[in-house]
Structures are given as C-alpha cells and as structure tokens.
C-alpha cells in the first residue's frame, strides 16, 4: 500500500464461523480495515463487533449496506441467503465479495451479475481456492506444459457426519446437501484446469429431506480428458486431488482446496514444492478484491464472472441428474 492510499474499508455481513476466519485474516492486511458488521440479530452483530474490535454494528443487512463509509461487503451467510444479501448490498452501491457457492443456481447467479453491471459495482465469488498461491503456481505449471496434455483430474471432499435432522446441511430450504457445500470445490478444481465440461454424468444417494449425502460426478471433455469427483456427508475422505497429464502428474495433499504444498512427479523425477500460507488462507481473496477496487474494476480477472457461471451451470446439471431441487 502506498503511503497516500487509504485502507479499503470492509463490512462483514453475517457473524458465523467463516465470517470470523475472514475477519481474522483481514487483520493481517495493512491496507484493509473492518469498520462495520451487520446481522439480522442486533445482539449477534454487537457481540461480533466487540470480539473483533469493529467500531459499528447493525441489526440489519440494509443498515450495513447504507453505511457510506464501507467500501466493500463480505457476504458470509449460508448460501441460501447469498442472493438476497448481495442484492441489498449491490443496490446500495457497495462492492461485494460473496461466499461460495455463489447462489443456489445459474438464474440467481446471472441476476446478481446483471445487477452488478447495471450498477457498475464490483462483484466477486469468494472462491478462495482460486487465489491460493500453491494453486496459482500449479495453474502456471500446467499452462507451461510441465506435465503434458491433461488426461485426468481427481478430487474428493467429504466430511464424517452424519448430520441430525434439521441441520442446515440437510435442509433443502437452506441449499443443503453435499453438492453445493462441498462439491463446489472439486467441480471448481476441475474447471480451473479443464474449463467447462462437454459431458456430465452424476449419481447420488439422497437423504429423506431430498438433499444429497453421497455424490459422484464424472465430467468429460472433447479433448479426451476426464474428471472424477466426489463429495459426501457420510465419511471423511482424504480430501486430496491429482492432476494427470501425458508427461507426469501433480498431487495435492489433504485439504487440496487450501494447499501449502504439492508434489510434481515426472517419471522418476519427484519435486516437492512448499508454498507457505498466511493466516487461514483467506488473505489472498481479500488482496484480490483490494487490488481490483484500487484498479477501478467491477470484475476480477482471477475469478471472473464467466468462471462462476460455468461452475454453477455444471452444479445445476448435476443437481438435475441426481434429483435434488430447492424450494
């Protein structure tokens, strides 16, 4: 940050665990300042403000959005509320970083993007994986042909569960199920390297509520590449990923979506690459937003609207195949 550049002023919308982690990471950035928090619960907002030393708290999204001393708002609600919350912020002229999955479907994603363009306001999906330094280095290596032509991507993300009835992970009205909460990572990972698929096949077991608890996805590409992806709520997987090309492969360790290292294997040549993380790993998406706002952009070149739409389109297609719908 140059000495004459004022910090970018952040508002935090919602007060759950992910909002806490993001706020803690913002504290690591000298050119970021958290000035306000908003929640539909005044008490929750006040408590969050007290814990994190935030000067202003509001008992509604609207009040937060109308705070003219806020430059950008981080939307950290459950994803069923992303569209409504982001709409309030964009209509008030506030830039928005919205947690993933961006919304529940393509139509509501397109709606937010149209609104952002009409208002000429910055909008970005908080897909922190795309801003992770190790991931960005892998993208560079693959683009340089380090492992040849891509032939297969594998990624899995499942957690132990089971979640009790009434839990948000099961509730259709909250966008519950494994796919949107966890599967967005493997699908985004495949998209990073292979783009949108030309062929989609999926199967899932469903909970009594009608949301998915164990989902497998195969994506096919006209290049001949294949992605095999899994997400679930019934047993904790390795949460690893592998990218295989004609000349070698790259392996990502546990928590592939926020790696601090990876391994490149080409024949007998094995290269271990360490890329240390700052904070919780959410620093980098905040830095991307700050850079874009300083440059006067309304869309991130690193997480462009088109990529968010393409991933959501794939998720929509998978949901249609596995028979999951939301009210």
- What would the pLDDT profile of 215-225 be if each residue is shown by its tens digit? 999 999 999 99
110/143 same-domain check: no
Is 69 within the bounds of a domain? yes
What CATH number corresponds to the domain at position 36?
3.40.50.720
User: How sure is the predictor about 4, in pLDDT bands with cuts at 50, 70 and 90?
Assistant: low
The pLDDT tens digits for 157-209 are: 999 988 999 899 999 999 999 999 999 999 999 999 999 999 999 999 999 99
**pLDDT of 255 higher than 70:** yes
Mean pLDDT for the stretch of residues 138-149: 98
Three-state DSSP string of the chain? CCCCCCCEEEEEECCCHHHHHHHHHHCCCCCEEEEEEECCCHHHHHHHHHHHCCCEEECCHHHHHCCCCCCEEEECCCHHHHHHHHHHHHHCCCEEEEECCCCCCHHHHHHHHHHHHHHCCCEEEECHHHHCHHHHHHHHHHHCCCCCCEEEEEEEEECCCCCCCCCCCCCHHHCCCHHHHHHHHHHHHHHHHHCCCCEEEEEEEECCCCCEEEEEEEEECCCCCEEEEEEECCCCCCCCEEEEECCEEEEECCCCCCCCEEEEEECCEEEEEECCCCCCCCHHHHHHHHHHHHCCCCCCCCCCHHHHHHHHHHHHHHHHHHCCCCC
35/175 same-domain check: no
Last residue of a domain, one of 82, 108, 126: 126
Among this protein's residues, is 100 annotated catalytic? yes
121/149 same-domain check: no
When mean pLDDT is compared across 109-123, 164-178, 282-296, the lowest value belongs to: 164-178
Mean pLDDT for the stretch of residues 57-71: 98
pLDDT value for 1: 47
Last residue of a domain, one of 126, 142, 165: 126
178/108 same-domain check: no
Domain span holding position 62: 8-126
pTM of the predicted structure, to 2 decimals: 0.96
Is 304 within the bounds of a domain? no
195/239 same-domain check: yes
**pLDDT of 309 higher than 80:** yes
Is 303 within the bounds of a domain? no
Last residue of a domain, one of 102, 126, 150: 126
Of 79, 82, 94, 100, catalytic: 100
């Amino acid at each position: 940050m140059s000495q004459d550049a004022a910090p970018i002023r952040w508002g935090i919308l919602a007060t759950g665990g992910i909002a806490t982690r993001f706020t803690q990471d913002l504290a690591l950035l000298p050119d970021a300042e958290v000035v306000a928090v908003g929640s539909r619960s005044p008490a929750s907002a006040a408590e969050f403000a007290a814990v994190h030393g935030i000067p202003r708290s509001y008992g509604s999204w609207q009040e937060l959005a109308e705070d003219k001393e806020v430059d950008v708002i981080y939307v950290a609600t459950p994803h069923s509320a992303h569209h409504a919350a982001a709409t309030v912020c964009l209509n008030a002229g506030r830039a928005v970083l919205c947690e993933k999955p961006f919304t529940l479907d393509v139509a509501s994603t397109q709606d937010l993007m149209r609104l952002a363009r009409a208002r000429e306001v910055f909008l970005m999906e908080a897909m922190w994986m795309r801003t992770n330094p190790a991931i960005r280095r892998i993208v560079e290596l693959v683009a340089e042909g380090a492992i040849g032509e891509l032939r297969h991507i594998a990624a899995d993300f499942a957690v132990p569960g089971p979640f009790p009835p009434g839990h948000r992970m099961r509730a259709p009205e909250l966008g519950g199920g494994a796919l949107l909460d966890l599967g967005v990572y493997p699908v985004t990972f495949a998209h990073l390297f292979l783009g949108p698929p030309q062929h989609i096949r999926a199967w899932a077991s469903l909970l009594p509520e009608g949301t998915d608890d164990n989902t497998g996805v195969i994506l096919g590409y006209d290049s001949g590449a294949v992605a095999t992806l899994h997400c679930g709520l019934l047993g904790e997987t390795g949460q690893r990923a592998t990218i295989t090309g004609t000349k070698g492969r790259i392996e990502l360790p546990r928590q592939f979506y926020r790696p601090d290292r990876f391994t490149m294997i080409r024949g007998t040549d094995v290269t271990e690459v360490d890329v240390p993380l700052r904070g919780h790993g959410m620093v980098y998406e905040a830095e991307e937003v700050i850079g874009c706002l300083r440059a006067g952009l309304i869309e991130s070149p690193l997480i462009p609207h088109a990529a968010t739409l393409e991933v959501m389109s794939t998720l929509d297609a998978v949901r249609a195949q596995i028979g999951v719908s939301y009210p």
